[in-house]
Structure 1
């Protein structure tokens, strides 16, 4: 039964995020909506960031935040139950607008469920699915249950128009709101010092950490034989400290030191000890006392990005962060054998976000069998020197920055403006 608009005392927004990155986006959107209107009421699903903005999530994000074919299948009954519960809660809340945030395997099922029950409720999708790379038919299918897509990448509106998708508006990537934290300042002179800093980013999800960390350990060992004067730091994704520590047990680490110095401790590779170990036994495997990389908290991560001379990174959002920080990189990615069988369905020439933003392969990438220690070392080595490889990436990163700023410097406010456009339309229909 519809209620008259006169009886509505607030604007109701039901939000559904499915993982940590969506939680941060949702929190920024909630803040921007409150700035625009003081009478907004929220309900739905989110994580800690959205909870800080006042959302009482229906259940913890950990119930549904899984990635990869096998993990999803293993938890499918619970995920389906959470979808049903979320749809019922959305119907009961009677929102003026539903905003789904990323994680399409979960959030889009919620959107379809609500659309079937309440066709008058506008639905906004914050973060476009990668229809331009994978399963392009999804774009046209979304027209049945999504009214507008808020895109983070500048090429996505054209992609949806080409594929017959819903209205799509580029609101900007949330990283542009943190450019001050990413832009190198006087601290960047550390990039020129005798012991340059290499960042290694295995990934933010458990499957990525388990798959990529052994490869990066072998790569680091090979790299340090040629360039033993570098320091290394490893940013740790939230809640992944224990998982990363388990994978690092197979690296040539000083385990006693690692045990004493927890992830926030100030501890980098002891390059002098490494050089001494190599000079004593140049042909032997590394001494387990040689390496003790520093594990960086999220608070320390951007400062390290500004100082890093180069990075070895798993494909994902971190590649955009590094590009905005002006840190040349080499990207690798591996999936399970089952998932690799579906590679022929991928429709893009690159999976690296900076490359996609500017439409050129500026950052080298190595996928599946091509991601070998020797290939990664050969691509990383020239990035430490002021030569053509480093200069080309830095020039490309300037173009990435310009592209990302085309929608302005406040993506959350732009996203809130469009959500309100649809929510106010929904309120008038109730």
Structure 2
């Protein structure tokens, strides 16, 4: 690209999953504000990215496939969309290609574009979990990734060690929502009042709900038999029906909420949480909510996990960021109602288990760089630097 051009920056951006849509929309907003001559967006995204001016090439939902079985079932659609995306990029080369999350799809897009149109700068937003499994992906990415923008502060060092692409920590998007998560004085009073609010978060994907729902239901029933608690289950509007069907068999029914404002209020007021492993564990930690985390996968996936998970001592994101296993995790056969309810008892009461989590959570702002520029602004600065329209320098702890 001619760095001195005065025409709008042409950005082709591809995102998959709702989380990618959120990240992509925030990045688009940051670029709209920061691009010196304006910006034009093309690509694939969801409703939030559409709100930032993207006319998606096809529905983002076509790219959503979690787990090996889901990928296989959706393979014909994914292959067709892969060819369509690469063709759209190379038929009218953009100034920069930005690929957001959805590694199964976007890494293939990047590899094909690099072969066909090697002059297009490629920026990847969100590191794949090379620190958890398949570390060889880091070195493979170097061939088709000019810059990797990481959400977690330890990822640049991991990629440097594994021979990955140049990586910059730009900050986690949760940092832009701290005001929604941190208790007001009134919320703090409710957090200490009876009955305590206990969040129940069994996930949103069908297999998560099927595997964790019955166990979580039995665990909170055992908890409620011993003490008075207010159970709240935040979920997404699109899966409310599935969640309602799930809890219909629970002995103790939680209050189901889907409104984002209600969810944030529940996080601010909760005294403890039972959660599926995932980003929500970091969200709860930033909200100062002691948590019991759990997860179950198919038995065949559990059998191969020890052979592919090499570099980590926990699967809980909050623990990985903290560098300390403070959130108890109950996986596979350890994920039982008895163990989960007993662990919840220990963090609901004042004592060493609860205090250990709260003390660790207090370090997160410094670890994540909460006082730095917002993640969307830092990410936009990295993209502009790659195409020669910015000076860079807003990325943090880059490799």
Shorter-chain TM range is over 0.9
1:80-132 CA-partner distances (Å, limit 9, x unpaired):
11111111111123111111001100111111111111111111110000001
Pick one of 315, 334, 358 that aligns with 1:394: 358
TM-score by length of structure 1 reads 0.87
SS in 2 for 1:424: coil
Match of 2:302 in 1: 340
Evaluate the alpha carbon distance shift between residue 190 and residue 168 of structure 1 in structure 2; reply closer, same or farther with a 3 A threshold. same
SS in 2 for 1:332: strand
Pick one of 31, 34, 46 that aligns with 2:32: 34
1:415 aligns with 2:379: yes
Evaluate the alpha carbon distance shift between residue 59 and residue 375 of structure 1 in structure 2; reply closer, same or farther with a 3 A threshold. same
Which structure has the greater CA radius of gyration? Answer: 1
Q: Distance in 2 between matches of 1:28 and 1:365?
A: 31
Match of 1:329 in 2: 291
Conservation of the 8 A alpha-carbon contact between 2:124 and 2:145: yes
* Cα drift, residue 341 of structure 1: 2.4
Q: Distance in 2 between matches of 1:245 and 1:230?
A: 20
Aligned positions, number: 386
- The within-5 A match list for 1:281-430 is 291-344=253-306, 345-347=308-310, 348-405=312-369, 408-424=372-388
1:199 aligns with 2:229: no
Evaluate the alpha carbon distance shift between residue 75 and residue 210 of structure 1 in structure 2; reply closer, same or farther with a 3 A threshold. same
Where does the alignment leave 5 or more consecutive residues of structure 1 unmatched?
A: 253-289
SS in 2 for 1:88: helix
Conservation of the 8 A alpha-carbon contact between 1:11 and 1:424: no
* Cα drift, residue 242 of structure 1: 1.7
SS in 2 for 1:9: coil
* Cα drift, residue 46 of structure 1: 0.4
Match of 1:159 in 2: 158
The farther-off stretch of 332-341 and 5-14 is 5-14
* Displacement over 3 Å in runs of 4+: 3-8
- The within-5 A match list for 1:3-402 is 9-37=7-35, 38-186=37-185, 187-227=187-227, 229-252=228-251, 291-344=253-306, 345-347=308-310, 348-402=312-366
Q: Distance in 2 between matches of 1:43 and 1:32?
A: 16
Where does the alignment leave 5 or more consecutive residues of structure 2 unmatched?
A: 391-399
* Cα drift, residue 407 of structure 1: 7.4
1:7-43 CA-partner distances (Å, limit 9, x unpaired):
8722111101011001000000000001112521110
Evaluate the alpha carbon distance shift between residue 83 and residue 407 of structure 1 in structure 2; reply closer, same or farther with a 3 A threshold. farther
1:295-314 CA-partner distances (Å, limit 9, x unpaired):
34233111110100100000
Evaluate the alpha carbon distance shift between residue 185 and residue 425 of structure 1 in structure 2; reply closer, same or farther with a 3 A threshold. closer
1:64-92 CA-partner distances (Å, limit 9, x unpaired):
11201111111111111111111111112
TM-score by length of structure 2 reads 0.93
* Cα drift, residue 425 of structure 1: 7.2
The farther-off stretch of 297-306 and 412-421 is 297-306
Q: CA RMSD in A?
A: 1.8
